[in-house]
A and B are shown apart, each in its own frame.
Chain A
């Protein structure tokens, strides 16, 4: 028999070979462009400029940091993220808890409830867009039926922000629900049953036993949702026409798009991208910390 060490070394060599294709793709499609963005961000490249581009040091960064539109986009991004989480987390967790009871028909409901997260975001955005129509949309018609005066959803800042939050929530709640459902399946049943026998009601069991036990899972979900909210692009592109009305729903991601592909200020957009990476990194770090504990 061969000594164990040689098999392990053999295995390590094979493992190293098998990950080569992954490395090639990641380096070509991510590492190289990030370095490219860094390089571009120190130049003054714009599409269709007459003067040859040159290095301008930190000018793109100083201009960006002095630009009120940059700070507005950060505020918008934060608002969308915070409001989205406040809507999505309670609903997602609540639905998971109900599905966990395994009432008759749960299978069917679970299938129906995950459909929204799988649908093409661009098509979803379009669907909601005509439901949000002020005069002929079905949402304002239903609100009118309840005696409420529906807002001009896509015509003013806060209604438009809420419209984006609603569409984003519609697509992301199933994701939260599924993760929490998986987390619930992994919890021991004992403590909850003991508490019920001792006379605790369903709400007490949930808030004092289930929720604390789910803590780590919820934390990971929260982090993934924050990261995905910061990335949100397709829905805003469609629902509010790339961040409108005006710049009312222009997130940082949308600002990068509009700068780079609307105004063709390549270098300015690259600098914004680098700043965005710097902002995402702390969230990434927290996420890993949370994931290691879950």
Chain B
């Protein structure tokens, strides 16, 4: 009896904490979305209006009317997709090597380099990269940005993919080899189909990181390759902060992610758990 009561109190406390945490997690999201459809008057008012306001699309229209916004959104989508494909391909090849070949000459140096890439703050390389890209004439260049985006995410994607390749039984490959299949054939016909779910999870992650990337484009993109996070950051230099359009721009960055999270949560969580420890 006493133990049952104690357990019930324990559960009630757990739910209270979870509900509190869920509220704190979601409130800023809710607040941004609701601010994005408020009129200026409803935005700057106390007590704040949580539900009792009239919805308007004016803020979104203002954002879409901003000169160059279509180009900015397009840039973000293109750079995200291209760099993600590139990064996942390169990382899968490296992951196959790391998972299947215990000893090849550049294994140890590669592992160390990847960890260093993860550990060294990217701001350090931005100053020389700015000088280098300017000298090479590829400042504000989509292709250069795609390469850099892919590079910063290669270590994380490689660790994630290595753990997925390791889950494929080696015996499958060995029997294919006995049947006379070449190494690349095995990789293509035996390994690839089995790691596709892992590749999908990795793709989602890398795409998220690329979509959110700010440091690289804020320093190395000008007007023609500008991305959404850079556009959003531009609001802070405006003298009178206009919260409505600001919230609308933020929502345009955040909404695709929130939807993706709910749709792909199973993959996200398994991927996060296996890749997180290392990277």
> What is the CA–CA distance of A118 and B264 in the complex, to the nearest angstrom?
12
> What is the CA–CA distance of A5 and B228 in the complex, to the nearest angstrom?
53
A126 within 8 A of B: yes
* In the complex, per-residue mask of B88-129: 1 if CB is within 8 Å of any chain A CB, else 0: 011101101110110111110010011111111111111111
> What is the CA–CA distance of A231 and B28 in the complex, to the nearest angstrom?
24
| CB-contacts of A47-98 with B (<8 A) | 94-95, 98
A200 within 8 A of B: no
Residues of A with C-beta under 8 A to B98:
15, 19
> What is the CA–CA distance of A118 and B256 in the complex, to the nearest angstrom?
11
B265 within 8 A of A: yes
Contact indicator A237/B152 (Cβ below 8 Å): no
Smallest CB-CB separation from B151: which chain A residue? Answer: A29
Interface size classification for chain B: 35 or more
Contact indicator A109/B18 (Cβ below 8 Å): yes
Contact indicator A283/B119 (Cβ below 8 Å): yes
Contact indicator B268/A122 (Cβ below 8 Å): no
Smallest CB-CB separation from B119: which chain A residue? Answer: A284
B152's contact among A29, A94, A230, by CB below 8 Å, is which?
A29
Contact indicator B125/A33 (Cβ below 8 Å): yes
Residues of B with C-beta under 8 A to A181:
273
User: Given the known A-B contacts A18-B94, A21-B90, A217-B277, are A110 and B269 also in contact in the complex, defined by CB atoms under 8 Å?
Assistant: yes
B110's contact among A19, A119, A122, by CB below 8 Å, is which?
A19
> What is the CA–CA distance of A34 and B113 in the complex, to the nearest angstrom?
12
Residues of B with C-beta under 8 A to A113:
18, 21-22, 25
> What is the CA–CA distance of A235 and B32 in the complex, to the nearest angstrom?
16
B233's contact among A45, A122, A284, by CB below 8 Å, is which?
A122
A22's contact among B91, B177, B253, B265, by CB below 8 Å, is which?
B91
Shortest A155–chain B CB gap in Å is: 14
* In the complex, per-residue mask of B17-61: 1 if CB is within 8 Å of any chain A CB, else 0: 110011011101101100100000000111110000000000000
Contact indicator B94/A19 (Cβ below 8 Å): yes
Smallest CB-CB separation from A142: which chain B residue? Answer: B48
Contact indicator B250/A269 (Cβ below 8 Å): no
Shortest B99–chain A CB gap in Å is: 10
Contact indicator A14/B97 (Cβ below 8 Å): yes
> What is the CA–CA distance of A268 and B260 in the complex, to the nearest angstrom?
42
A248 within 8 A of B: no
Residues of B with C-beta under 8 A to A130:
35, 241, 243, 246-247
Contact indicator A126/B236 (Cβ below 8 Å): yes
Extra pairs beyond A11-B183, A36-B129, A231-B123 (12, CB < 8 Å): A16-B106, A22-B93, A26-B154, A30-B117, A109-B21, A126-B235, A127-B28, A136-B45, A178-B276, A224-B279, A284-B116, A294-B277
> Hey, which bits of chain B sit against chain A, CB under 8 A?
10-11, 14-15, 17-18, 21-22, 24-26, 28-29, 31-32, 35, 44-48, 89-91, 93-94, 96-98, 100-101, 103-107, 110, 113-132, 147-148, 150-152, 154, 158, 177, 183-184, 208, 211-212, 214-215, 218-219, 228-229, 232-233, 235-237, 241, 243, 246-247, 249-251, 253-254, 257-258, 260-262, 265, 268-269, 272-274, 276-279
Instruction: Give me the 4 closest cross-chain CB pairs, A-B, nearest first.
Output: A36-B128, A15-B97, A15-B101, A29-B151
24 contacts between A and B (CB under 8 A): A11-B101, A11-B183, A12-B104, A21-B89, A22-B154, A29-B152, A31-B113, A34-B128, A40-B131, A95-B17, A95-B21, A103-B11, A109-B18, A123-B251, A130-B35, A138-B31, A141-B46, A178-B273, A185-B273, A202-B10, A231-B122, A241-B237, A253-B123, A280-B119
> Hey, which bits of chain A sit against chain B, CB under 8 A?
7-8, 10-16, 18-19, 21-23, 25-26, 28-34, 36-37, 40, 45, 94-95, 98-99, 101, 103, 105, 109-116, 118-124, 126-131, 136, 138, 141, 170, 174-175, 178-179, 181-182, 185, 202, 217, 220, 224, 227, 230-231, 233-234, 237-238, 241, 253, 256-257, 260-261, 266, 269-270, 273-274, 276-277, 280-281, 283-284, 287-288, 291, 294
